[in-house]
Amino acid sequence: MMASRTLGRANRRPLLLLSAVLGTAALAAPTYAADQISVALDNARILHLPDRAATVVIGNPLIADLSIQPGGLAVITGKSYGETNFVVLDRGGVVLAEKTVEVTFPNEQTAVVVYRGVDRETYSCTPDCSHRLTLGDSPDIFDKVMQQTTNRNTQSAAAGSSAGGR
């Protein structure tokens, strides 16, 4: 009887060890849902930074940008489709937080996408439809809309600076 009891304990040891290892791994595994932030292209989200945050490092600033604001806030802006990350450090270089940022297509009810063969154009219809500067549109359309937008912004800045001097 003693032999069967000893044998039973010996058979349980690997199971207990396995349970302990799996339990520890589950606690140590990152929780991806909580560590991922989704932001639409050309949109911004407000984040609360951890206390003692001193430095924020963006993995790929072509995909997303992050600016620190007073009061422990940060603004993350989607700049290009894709995924990157950011790391928050304290003054001593200790990692306080690390999150993944996914930049997605804007989920707008007013956006209309027109395909002409392989060429794509995006319109914003609020309420009238006008070309919208969107990554992935055909180069001819994108360049034309970009030039128009740049010209308009340049003229607006010039008008604003001349009006401010009066």
Q: Give the torsion sign (CA, 110, 81, 64, 79).
A: negative
Domain boundary, last residue among 61, 87, 104: 104
Residue 83 bridge partners (DSSP): 102
Residues 61 and 99 in one domain: yes
In a domain, 147, yes or no: yes
Task: Determine the pLDDT at residue 11.
Answer: 55
Task: Determine the pLDDT at residue 43.
Answer: 92
Residues 6+ apart with CB under 8 A from 23: none
| Residue whose structure tokens are 């292209």 | 41
Instruction: Please report the DSSP string for 65-111 in residue order.
Output: EEEEETTTEEEEEE-SSEEEEEEEE-TT--EEEEEEEEEE----TTE
- Dist CA 148 CA 132 (whole Å): 11
| Backbone dihedral angles phi then psi of residue 24, each to the nearest 5 degrees | -65, -40
- Averages of pLDDT over runs of 10 residues in the chain (166 residues) are 48 49 42 72 92 92 91 93 94 94 83 91 87 89 91 88 66
pTM equals 0.60
Q: Give the torsion sign (CA, 21, 22, 26, 27).
A: negative
Query: How many separate domains does the chain show?
Result: 2
Task: Determine the pLDDT at residue 15.
Answer: 46
Task: Determine the pLDDT at residue 92.
Answer: 94
> Are the beta carbons of 52 and 91 closer than 8 angstroms?
yes
In a domain, 61, yes or no: yes
Q: Which two tokens stand for residue 31?
A: 């929780």
Task: Determine the pLDDT at residue 134.
Answer: 85
In a domain, 5, yes or no: no
Task: Determine the pLDDT at residue 111.
Answer: 82
In a domain, 22, yes or no: no
- Dist CA 126 CA 110 (whole Å): 6
Task: Determine the pLDDT at residue 162.
Answer: 76
Residues 117 and 100 in one domain: no
Residues 116 and 96 in one domain: no
Residues 94 and 151 in one domain: no
| Range(s) of the domain holding residue 146 | 111-159
Residues 126 and 98 in one domain: no
> Are the beta carbons of 85 and 79 closer than 8 angstroms?
no
In a domain, 130, yes or no: yes
In a domain, 18, yes or no: no
In a domain, 152, yes or no: yes
